[in-house]
Amino acid sequence: MSNKINGHEGKHIKKRQSCTFEKLGCRFKGTRSKAHKHEDTSITLHMNLLLEEVLRLEKTEEACGEVLEKLNRLAERAEEQPGVNLDMQEEASCPDLNEKLQELCHTVQLLQIRVPGLESKTGELQNKVAVTSTAMEKCDALAKSMERELESNKRTINALQDKVRQLEQNISLCFPMNDPPVEVAQNGIFIWSIAQFRSLRQETISGLRPYLESEAFYTSQYGYKMKLRIYLNGNEQAKGTHISLYFTLQTGDFDSLLKWPFAETVRLSILSQTNREDSAVHCLSPSGLLQSLQKPKANGNIPYGVPMFVSLTEFYNRLGEFVHDDILFVKAEVEHRKV
């Protein structure tokens, strides 16, 4: 029994109902909640329907008035004639018109109740719009102020950068920079790190940079000063087929204390970064007759080394061993003597 009642109530809740303005021409049908929402959101539509009905009723009332006037005239004539007794009031009644006027008054009363609520909501929205507009104006003013401040900061930074550059130039003129200290090989070992190998290799092939040269270093604390030089695409007869590797003697601070010509044993290596024992190695035992081994003058001696140090074919077959993270390592190990 309760299930039947619940089912009946469910059907009643979901029953579709028409709009209260159906008789005025509104075609909406839906549940009770949707009908209330429709009435709240369709006020303009209902007002227009109501206006049309009022205008139509005005025309009907005018027509009824004309009919009543004619009937009154007929009644007056009928009274003058014997045997005629008409109840003009009953004939002239318009029950449909009265019913529609009552409905119209009821609808107007409903609208009068809802209009104040809508006016209140409209006022709230207007207040929110005003507050939002004020906030937007403040944000716009703040953004413009920050933009002006940013431009001012940029100008200040540019001016300071110009001053810093000018001061650096003045300092360099007043206090010339000394050459950086020359590295001293530990136990006669110097390792040269060549970064960005691939781009340097391309510059070598194109001829933009025929060779690379290391920083100068001393073979010991008071030893010989030298540099390493490598031709990644080969030098002279080895060009295009081998890598060429040399050392060049430089003018050092202790040359007067050293034995000349240079006769130290030099071990040059291109290091394998996977297994040090697999490095490409050449051991040089210089001969004193060569000009490149004499006591250096001015900018240093001509290079001394191995033009065909390692073939390009072997090198690129083992490129994964020799080059890691685009870095190649070259090692010089000098057997130093006591001064």
Mean pLDDT over the full length of the chain: 81
Q: What are phi and psi of 262, to 5 degrees?
A: -65, 125
d(CA 101, CA 62): 14
Q: Is the pLDDT of residue 273 over 50?
A: yes
Model confidence band, residue 29 (pLDDT cutoffs 50, 70, 90): confident
Q: Which tokens in the block code for residue 169?
A: 């130039």
The per-residue pLDDT for range 141-185, each reduced to its tens digit, is 999 999 999 999 999 998 898 888 878 776 765 655 555 577 888
Is residue 7 predicted with pLDDT exceeding 50?
A: no
Which letter does DSSP use for residue 216 in this model? P
| Cα–chain center distance at 92 | 83
Q: Read off the pLDDT band of 71 (50, 70, 90).
A: low
State residue 65's pLDDT score: 58
CA Rg, the chain, in Å? Answer: 55
Q: Are 228 and 332 in contact (CB under 8 A)?
A: yes
pLDDT confidence tier of residue 317, bands split at 50, 70 and 90? very high
Please give the angle made by the CA atoms of 64, 69 and 71, to the nearest 5 degrees: 90
Q: What pLDDT is stored for residue 1 in this prediction?
A: 47
Beta strand 217-218 with 183-184 is parallel
What confidence tens digit (pLDDT) does each residue in 84-121 have? Answer: 444 444 444 456 666 766 777 677 667 667 667 666 76
Which architecture does CATH list for 183-334?
Sandwich (2.60)
More confident call, 39 vs 240: 240
Q: At which residue do the structure tokens 């009824």 appear?
A: 64
Q: What is the distance between the alpha carbons of residues 34 and 111, in angstroms, rounded to a whole number? A: 18
Write the DSSP assignment of 239-270 as a string of letters: TTTEEEEEEEEE--TTGGGS-SS----EEEEE
Q: Domain coordinates of the chain in residue numbers? A: 14-127, 183-334
Is residue 228 pLDDT above 90, yes or no?
Answer: yes
